[in-house]
Structure 1
Amino acid sequence: MDGVRLIDPDSDFDEDFFDLEIEQRVVLRALAKTTHGGRPASTRNLEAEMDQDRVFTALRKRMDQDAYVHGRSSLIRMPAGSDAQLRRLNLPSSVAEFYRPVSFDATWDRWWFACPVCHWPMKVTVHGTRAGTRTGSVRCFHRPHAAWGAAYSFRLPDAGRAPLLHPLSRPAALSGAQAVLFPDLTGQVPEPVPVEGHKALARGVWRWTTVPGLVEVALFDALSERGLSVALWPELDAYDLQVAAGQGAGRTEFRIDVKDYTSALLLAKKIQADGGDRGGAEWLVVPDYRESSLDLVGTVAGEFGLKTATASGIGELICKKAGAAWQ
């Protein structure tokens, strides 16, 4: 727990606790599967499947690879939108039901704001000052996105008017290999969107489908644009990406699984509980903002024959093998 905050500056429970709780559930579920009927340590954590598991079950139901890729891509590329936009996604009702009214903690009056990175509603907080002036802040629920610049302030407007956001900081734009996958938010200020007539994914689906999926889709798009053969979630999600690099005898196939865990320790335990990667992936990839987890995760993954890299690192490696330019 070293370095973990209990309470954030808004006097709420820190957002990372949501991630940590879900990550613990994933590990406990994996451990429970290996006990062959042994009593789990916490039935509360294992009593029901999480939303993302139910979504994946619904997406796989038709056993159609193209339908699965379309559905999962839609959840990643459009985690929130108007009722008309969501209808045009043409998702099965068992998947569409996870789009729900925008939550209260992501609204101000009748408005919400989409994160410029993930496009999901951001958290809205109103603050009081000693002088009696009230101000507000808006930031993405996912801390790395907020650190990239998805964090804003606003002065409370007159009744009936929408807030005008101002960036809280101007982080330096990413450079080098990382800049290929991650957006430059310079000058991007979200516009207010009316709550009425709009919906957003349930939080668990957003956190465990949309957030890591942004990296998966970004890798797919970047490698496809460079002329490589790339498949998303082959065999109905045996792993996340299959990439072919090179020709003839020099052809190499990369089977990649992307993991975005707040806790490196819990990810390491998940790898141990699973005995590596059950889907057949050979590479375990983390987002660039999780690079510090690679020392621990890489050591554990190596015990099961898994190689590790950051998202930009694997992209650069694949392009080098294929004779293509990553940057």
Structure 2
Amino acid sequence: MSNFSHISVLRDEAIEALQPRENGVYLDGTFGGGGYSRMILERAKCRLFGVDRDPDALPRAAALTAAHAGRFELIPGRISEISEMMAARGVARLDGAVFDLGLSSFQIDDPARGFSFRQDGPLDMRMSRDGQSAADLVNLCAESDLADILYKYGDEKAARRIAKQIVDRRKAQKFTTTADLAGVIRSVVRPDKSGIDPATRSFQALRIAVNEELSDIEAALAQSAALLAPGGRLVVVSFHSLEDRIVKHFFAQSAGRTPGASRHDPAGLAQVSAPEFRLVTKSPILPGQAEIRANPRARSAKLRVMERLAA
């Protein structure tokens, strides 16, 4: 793993938005390479909990744990379990939480993890290394279910044709590698002017399905927001439209920015409670050209921030 590098996207902007302060309690919900955690601990003498479902993150956190003894703990588990994690540690309130959604470079760049088609590897894609793999989905799913996954989570217009080709091929030989699957997808979907590899959307869809990422994000946002103390901030960096749509809707709803009922609808007569949060970012913060040049994976990132209002 030492040959891999991880660059935290929008790191400075995210930590500036989080505003870590002395004696505060914070959560880094997606530890990854520890870029956000390291900067939070350097900015303020606070207490920080990191969360990561990938067992490979544990050894990466060892140096940070040693350097900040008593102030930092990495908790193995899913972000949909934040409420239970904090309760088990006697934490009733957070002064801020930050999430860097999606994959870390460690996961993408390791062929053995099977997240990318850039290098051949086992068709795995499991963040936690347990449960159903991408190979299980591809080899066992009904054709209609497979097509639904590719369309719903990858916005793949050729989902039905790809699913049919996969099912036809697996009758003769099961899929075991990323290169094999990518090759079959490319035989159905030809390159277009965007320059995006034809297998990109399908691989994204399978990864999201394998790891149940979207439901985890929804749970993590709700649970971390509920734990925020007045003035506490929730900072989220997303990387594709499905993630950002969830974050944008949750923030808008929490800040009372969703459209009201029609005056002709009896529901519109119901008393509307005052919002408990305010939007710090009305529009998302995007990476600058310098960051994109240094780290092309940052190009699709969007940072959104909201803050709990005083009681």
TM-score (norm 2): 0.32
TM-score (norm 1): 0.30
